[in-house]
Amino acid sequence: MRGEAVSVSTLGTTWTPMSPAQRDQFERDGYLILPGALSPDEVGRYRAAVEAVYRTKDAVGRLAPDRSLHLLSAVRNCPELAGLIDHPAVFPLVWSILGWNVHVYHSHIDVHPQLPGPKPAWWHWHQDGGRQNRELETDPRPRISVKLAFWLSDVSRPGRGNLTLIPGSHRTNWLPGPPRRDLAWPQPDGAVQITVEPGDVVFFDRRIWHARSDNLSPVTRMAVFFGYTYRWIAVRDEVADLWRQPWWQELSPVQRQLLGGAGDGSGDHLWGHDPGSTPLYRELAARQLLDPGYPPLIP
Ligand SMILES: O=C(O)CCC(=O)C(=O)O
């Protein structure tokens, strides 16, 4: 129910760091698929929450003309999703790659019903991060953020609005494409439609070249995406007064950190100057999972 118990506490659950084989695969391909990360019960619960949001937005005329919903700030708009942001089956992938000084900077709920036919040409291919892809000068650009995509519908065949990506493209700064987004253009070489079952999660490097595809099937596509980055990078989601929400107190300290509510709100804290009051650092320390590769600034 909206505004009531929203979080799934991870206390008492096991956190398993990314394995060396997963790391090798992630470094090589730029993404991992985690089959069955959510149980069928969880899929049912999170689906129901997303469907409720969809109905609410429909009632106030906020769906796109094709009746799709692409809604930023996932937890603000659907607090029942808070249990996904540190889901024990996949959150360890995030801190294994980025360390403990992280937050969710960009998230979205996506509902895509069947389209009557292919949409007019539009070049959707991109790397995440917006102007990071103009303003960072290295080649390849640094990773900086990763994303978890939680699949709540059956996208086990192509043509169902699959996430499309180019494996191994995360170290390529430039993808040849049309001079204007609305020009018809062939799919890039090597592009694959990712096939997933409800409850699967895709974990990807923000730099991987990716695009949503059209859902031409009768199965409404439903997914929730959470992007994580370092706390010294600004949050794109709306988080300004989340702490005033009635459900905020029910979140765990790590969930609050991920939603911008850790420390004293100062820039110093965001820079990671006080690991002792940074919940994810504390949690990893308590579980003896701190990576010596991410030491505090002043030992
Ligand atoms: O919805 C999709 O399949 C793609 C999502 C996307 O482009 C993104 O997460 O940046």
Backbone Cα Rg of the chain: 19
Q: Quote the strand ranges of the chain, DSSP E.
A: 31-34, 69-72, 102-112, 145-151, 163-165, 192-193, 201-205, 210-212, 221-230
Contact 103, 259 (CB under 8 A): yes
Provide the token pair at 75: 């937890």
Which amino acid is present at 126? H
Structure confidence by residue, pLDDT tens digits, 143-164:
999 999 999 999 999 999 999 9
Provide the token pair at 72: 């930023």
- Atom of ligand 1 minimally distant from the CA of 213: 3
Residue holding tokens 């899929």? 43
> Binning pLDDT at 50, 70 and 90, where does residue 1 land?
very low
- Which of 53, 74, 73, 78 is CA-nearest to residue 63? 53
- Atom of ligand 1 minimally distant from the CA of 70: 1
Contact 36, 76 (CB under 8 A): no
Query: CA–CA separation, 192 vs 2, rounded Å?
Result: 37
> Binning pLDDT at 50, 70 and 90, where does residue 6 land?
very low
Provide the token pair at 288: 């003896």
In the chain the first and final C-alpha atoms are separated, in Å, by 45
How many C-alpha atoms does 213 have within 13 Å on its Cβ side? 19
- Atom of ligand 1 minimally distant from the CA of 227: 9
Residue 264 CA, ligand 1 centroid: distance in Å = 33
Output the residue whose Cα is nearest ligand 1's atom 4. Answer: 212
Output the residue whose Cα is nearest ligand 1's atom 2. Answer: 212
Residue 287 CA, ligand 1 centroid: distance in Å = 33
Domains of the chain with CATH codes: 20-262 (2.60.120.620)
Output the residue whose Cα is nearest ligand 1's atom 7. Answer: 211
- Atom of ligand 1 minimally distant from the CA of 164: 3
Amino acid 13: pLDDT: 86
Three-state helix/strand/coil letters over 151-163: ECCCECCCCECCE
Structure confidence by residue, pLDDT tens digits, 82-94:
999 999 999 999 9
Residues with CB under 6 A from ligand 1: 110, 128, 147, 163, 210, 212, 225
- For residue 203, what are the CA distances in angstroms to 143, 154, 218, 223? 13, 17, 26, 13
> Binning pLDDT at 50, 70 and 90, where does residue 295 land?
confident
Query: CA–CA separation, 196 vs 33, rounded Å?
Result: 8
> Binning pLDDT at 50, 70 and 90, where does residue 124 land?
very high
φ, ψ of residue 189 to 5 degrees: the values are -55, 140
- Which of 97, 87, 109 is CA-nearest to residue 42? 87
Phi-psi domain of 30 (left: phi exceeds 0; alpha: psi -120 through 50; beta: other): left
3-state secondary structure of 93: helix
Provide the token pair at 51: 């469907």
Cα 183 to its chain centre, rounded Å, is: 29
Provide the token pair at 228: 């994580």
- Whether the per-residue pLDDT at 297 is higher than 90: the answer is no
- Which of 44, 47, 55, 46 is CA-nearest to residue 6? 46
Amino acid 299: pLDDT: 59
Residue 248 CA, ligand 1 centroid: distance in Å = 27
- What is the mean pLDDT of the segment spanning 178-183? 96
Residue 84 CA, ligand 1 centroid: distance in Å = 17
Pocket test for ligand 1, best of 210, 213, 220 (most atoms within 8 A of CB): 210
- What is the mean pLDDT of the segment spanning 173-180? 96
Query: CA–CA separation, 118 vs 135, rounded Å?
Result: 34
